């Protein structure tokens, strides 16, 4: 057997081994039947199991418990003792002024102090609740981005599998032509090289999928089995099916049944700057600072303390007494006044932060909206223009090559296959980016826009 014959046998054997290995892998995957986790299910797990959200929830509950005590009266004081006893004895009958005394006292804060403390505590409690909601939005976005990445990686791996089958078919046809002398050895080697590149890319994608799964498990703090399946949410599917409007980067999405009910950009901006958790949290900070300023102003007035007493004397009439005391603000200029001015400065700073939070939310909505429209156009340009053309080119080239048509050569067919592969991968990326853009818009506005019917 000569060198030429040996090369001809080696390549078909490699192709047969590759096909067999692929078949064995498919049977193994089918036997394992990995569980499929939907995006709504993972988002529910996030709310239940994420330790950061659990900690934030407990902090909010703790702050709520502090509201009632903040405005309560100080604890009363009870005093018991002996008064006016002669030295060296505890006999109450030796001296007429000797007595056993029981006193009860209560301090009353200045008017408005307790109400201001209650309002400040309530505002801080509500701020923590909104901060938790804000963090939940960020974590939900992280889960959605990871889920979209898993969908992309699965789509990309499927694309590589389909391209591998077309390349194998091309390799088999090239081998047949080589046997009759109408093809060269270089064409067979080129096919094998492209198949090897596809296997390397598939290996990279599987590694990326494992890393994305790990990041998702970290977000959920949940033991998801490796290699779990994912399913595209219906809401994302409706976005992909949305009618294209090339070049129409306006303030509204296309008015079609697939996206009915989505507010316009101006509506989203107006609602987000009112209802986003970060804006609401900043508003509560203003409320707490306002209550603190009022508290500082009210505390410039002294508290009132009332004392009631009862004295028991041996063999004589018992006595009772009542007294009141107030603080003397001798150091108001060095104490109460600076504290009141500081509270006013804190209030102005909180108002500045609230305006900043509103402006940042508005900017995030605008950026997310722009990303959504841009991703939509990019997906439709790929899905409705590039992919159909690339598919038609491959079908025509493969049909001509199978039939042995005159002028149907190897390189144009290979180029068409590689162009189709690139177009399909670009379409998968565009679909991922459109889904991520939708998730970012929801995080920016602070409420759900694209939901499945069962959510």
Label residue 403 by pLDDT band (50, 70, 90).
confident
Q: Is the CB of residue 437 less than 8 Å from the CB of residue 372?
A: yes
Name the percent of the chain lying above pLDDT 90.
53
Q: Is the pLDDT of residue 198 over 60?
A: yes
Concatenate the DSSP letters of all residues of 152-166 into one string: HHHHHHHHHHHHHHH
Mean pLDDT for the stretch of residues 278-290: 96
319 three-state secondary structure: strand
Residue 189 confidence (pLDDT): 83
Residue pLDDT, tens place only, 135-174: 999 999 999 999 999 999 999 999 999 999 988 888 888 7
Q: Is the pLDDT of residue 1 over 60?
A: no
Upper half-sphere CA count for residue 374 (Cβ side, 13 Å): 10
Residue 84 confidence (pLDDT): 86
Label residue 95 by pLDDT band (50, 70, 90).
confident
CA–CA gap between residue 71 and residue 112 (Å, rounded):
10
Residue 2: what are its φ and ψ, rounded to 5°? -80, 170
Mean pLDDT for the stretch of residues 431-443: 94
% helix, strand, coil for the chain, step of 5: 70, 10, 25
For the domain made up of 34-445, the CATH class stated in words is: mainly alpha
Q: Is the pLDDT of residue 69 over 90?
A: yes
**Of 215-229, 232-246, 384-398, 410-424, minimum mean pLDDT range:** 232-246
Residue ranges of domains in the chain? 1-33, 34-445
Concatenate the DSSP letters of all residues of 213-248 into one string: HHHHHHHHT--PPTT-EE---HHHHHHHTSPP-TT-
**Residue closest to 46 by CA, chosen among 146, 120, 118, 116:** 146
Label residue 424 by pLDDT band (50, 70, 90).
very high
Residue 452 confidence (pLDDT): 67
Pair of tokens at residue 358: 């509103």
Residue 400 confidence (pLDDT): 82
Mean pLDDT for the stretch of residues 50-69: 94
CA–CA gap between residue 230 and residue 37 (Å, rounded):
6
Residue 377 confidence (pLDDT): 87
Q: Is the pLDDT of residue 222 over 70?
A: yes
Q: Which helix (H) or strand (E) covers residue 205, if one does?
A: helix 185-220
Q: Is the CB of residue 194 less than 8 Å from the CB of residue 165?
A: no
CA–CA gap between residue 303 and residue 325 (Å, rounded):
8
**What's the whole-model pTM score?**
0.80
Q: Is the pLDDT of residue 119 over 70?
A: yes
Residue 257 confidence (pLDDT): 37
How much is the mean pLDDT over the chain?
Answer: 84
Residue 89 confidence (pLDDT): 82
**Of 21-25, 119-123, 140-144, 333-337, minimum mean pLDDT range:** 21-25
Name the percent of the chain lying above pLDDT 70.
86
């Amino acid at each position: 057997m000569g060198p030429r014959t040996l090369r001809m046998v080696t390549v078909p054997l490699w192709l047969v081994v590759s096909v067999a290995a692929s078949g064995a892998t498919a049977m193994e995957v089918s036997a394992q039947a990995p569980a499929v986790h939907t995006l709504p299910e993972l988002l529910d797990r996030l709310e239940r199991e994420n330790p950061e959200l659990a900690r934030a929830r407990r902090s909010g509950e703790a702050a709520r418990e502090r509201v009632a005590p903040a405005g309560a009266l100080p604890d009363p004081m009870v005093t018991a003792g002996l008064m006016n006893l002669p030295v060296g004895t505890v006999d109450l009958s030796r001296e007429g002024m000797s007595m056993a005394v029981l006193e009860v006292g209560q301090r009353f804060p200045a008017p408005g102090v307790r109400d201001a403390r209650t309002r400040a505590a309530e505002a801080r409690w509500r701020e923590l609740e909104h901060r938790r909601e804000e963090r939940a939005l960020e974590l939900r976005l992280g889960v959605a981005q990871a889920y979209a990445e898993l969908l992309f990686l699965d789509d990309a791996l499927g694309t590589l599998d389909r391209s591998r089958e077309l390349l194998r078919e091309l390799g088999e046809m090239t081998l047949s032509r080589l046997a009759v002398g109408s093809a060269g050895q270089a064409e067979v080697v080129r096919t094998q090289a492209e198949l090897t590149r596809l296997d390397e890319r598939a290996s990279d994608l599987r590694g990326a999928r494992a890393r994305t799964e790990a990041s998702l498990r970290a977000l959920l703090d949940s033991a998801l089995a490796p290699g779990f399946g994912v399913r595209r949410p219906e809401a994302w599917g409706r976005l992909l099916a949305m009618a294209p409007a090339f070049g129409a980067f306006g303030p509204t999405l296309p008015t079609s049944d697939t996206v009915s009910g989505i507010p316009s950009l101006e509506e989203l901006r107006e609602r987000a700057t009112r209802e986003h958790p970060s804006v609401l949290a900043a508003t509560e900070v203003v409320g707490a600072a306002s209550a603190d300023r009022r508290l500082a102003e009210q505390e410039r007035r002294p508290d009132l303390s009332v004392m009631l007493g009862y004295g028991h004397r041996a063999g004589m009439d018992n006595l009772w007494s009542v007294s009141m005391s107030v603080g003397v603000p001798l150091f108001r200029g060095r104490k109460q006044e600076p504290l009141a001015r500081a509270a006013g400065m804190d209030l102005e700073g909180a108002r500045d932060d609230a305006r900043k939070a509103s402006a940042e939310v508005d900017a995030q909505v605008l950026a997310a909206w722009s990303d959504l429209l841009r991703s939509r156009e990019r997906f439709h340009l790929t899905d409705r223009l590039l992919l159909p053309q690339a598919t038609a080119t491959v079908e025509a080239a493969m049909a001509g090559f199978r039939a042995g048509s005159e002028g149907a050569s190897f390189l144009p067919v290979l180029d068409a296959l590689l162009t189709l592969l690139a177009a399909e991968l670009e379409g998968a990326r565009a679909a991922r980016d459109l889904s991520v853009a939708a998730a970012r818009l929801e995080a920016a506005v602070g409420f759900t826009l694209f939901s499945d019917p069962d959510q």
